[in-house]
Every structure is written in C-alpha cells, then in structure tokens.
Chain A
Amino acid sequence: MAASSREHVLSLYRLLLKESKKFPSYNYRTYALRRVRDAFRENRTVEDPKDVEELLRRARDSLALIQRQKVMEKHDTQFTSAILLQRCR
C-alpha cells in the first residue's frame, strides 16, 4: 500500500470511530464501533489498489451515513417524545 493511502485508511478509521462514539443510543453505538473495527481488521491484507479504493469509498459513505443517522436519530427521539407529550395532555 502506498504511504498516502495508509494514512488515508488510518484517518478514516479514526474518523469513523469518533463518529460512532457519538451515537446517543447504546445499541447503535456498540454496533457501529464493533462493525467498524471488524470491517477494517478483516480487510487488512487487501493489496489490490482498486479494491482498496473501493473499500475507502465505502468507508467514506459509511461515515456520511453515520453523521446523518445521528442527526436523524436525535430528531426522531425528539419527535417521538413530542408525540408522547401531546398524547399525555
């Protein structure tokens, strides 16, 4: 692997872990952390640059997904609690 892609991989790993830690829900958080770790470890030995590029693209998409998901989940829980409050009245 080229040096720059190694750094790419490590920085993506770090970003994914950081974003996964911010999930408010315990289940999502533990799942995301575990999945990120397992996926990176599983693909450690991949040498083909095209495969590496593909995996990096998937990682970036996952990162965007996690960032969106956190926002949606926060709104979702707020929405649900607003509905519950409405029903209580």
Chain B
Amino acid sequence: MASRALPYCVRSVARAAARLNHGSLLTRSACAPLVPKQRPLSVLSCSQRTRWTQLVRISGPSVDQCRHYGDLPPLTLQNIEERVMYVLKLYDKISPEKLQTSSHFMKDLGLDSLDQVEIIMAMEDEFGFEIPDAEAEKLMTPAEIVQFIADKKDVYE
C-alpha cells in the first residue's frame, strides 16, 4: 500500500508542477529528485502523459473494501413471502396452482389442523426460530404467516 501511495503522491505533485509550468525542462528535471530511486522513469513519463494518466487513474489506496461475512441475506417482506410460498409449494398436499397468498388453509385448500401444524413446523425449519403453539394455531393463510414472521424478525418497509 505504501509503495502504491508514494508514486501516487509523487505523480500528483509532478502533475501539478507540469500544469504550472508547461513544457519547461527545468521543472521536469526538478521533478526527478522527488522520485524514489527504484523507479526513476515513472515520474517523467507521467508528467509527459498527464492527460492519459488522469483519464486512466485507478484510485489505489482509496479502493472500497466490502467485507462479506458468513451471514444470511437480510430479510425483506418480499423475500419472506417468496420463501413461504416456496415451502408451501413443496408440501405435497397443496396443489401449486390453487395456492395464493390469501388462500385459507382450511377453507380454500381443504387442509386440516394436523396439516396446519406440519406447515407451521416447516416454516419453523425454514426460518430457524420457534413458533409457540398458541400463536401457531391462529396462522391460517400465507399472508398471516408472512406478517407474523415479519413481526418477529422486525422487518418493515
């Protein structure tokens, strides 16, 4: 990083100097002593091609670093709904064509309370948190499940 920073600073100084005194041999040679011993040519070439380097400048030290930790993507209402519908479509007693967000498990889809318990357990497995019995038996449509999970996980839009 330091090795990149130093030529960057040197080049910017050289560029500024070149802009001030166009084409003066004296300034170009004055830039030379600033150069570190390892790369004597770089400053001179840069000062001659300042316009090109300005266009092509990739910011070295100031690159944005984005850390990706090992975590799930953040939950959004749409994401929750997609996952809920996906799990429901995988359940063999539900036909995917008849399934909608507002379809009632017992009235529209013809399931019974045992199936509803199984569905809620599948949701628990999918989202990784426990749903107590008292609240679980009230969840009768996919929309209600989505709302409940959003409440529990503090997802709002």
Contacts and interface: CB of A to CB of B under 8 A. Distances in A.
- Binding site of A, secondary structure by majority: helix, strand, loop or mixed? helix
Interface string A36-54: 0100110010000000000
Interface string B94-119: 00000000000000000011100110
Interface residues of B, number: 8
B133 A13 contact: no
Contacts, number: 24
Contact of B133 (A11, A41, A44): A11
B82 interface: no
Interface residues of A, number: 12
A14 B113 contact: no
A7 B114 CA distance: 11
B139 to A, nearest CB: 13
B118 A17 contact: yes
Contacts of A11: 133
Given A13-B114, A44-B112, A44-B114, A7 B133 contact: yes
A72 interface: no
Nearest to B136: A14
Contacts of A37: 114, 118
A7 B117 CA distance: 11
Interface of B: 112-114, 117-118, 121, 133, 137
Interface of A: 6-7, 10-11, 13-14, 17-18, 37, 40-41, 44
13 contacts: A7-B133, A10-B114, A10-B137, A11-B133, A13-B114, A14-B121, A14-B133, A17-B118, A17-B121, A18-B121, A37-B118, A41-B114, A44-B114
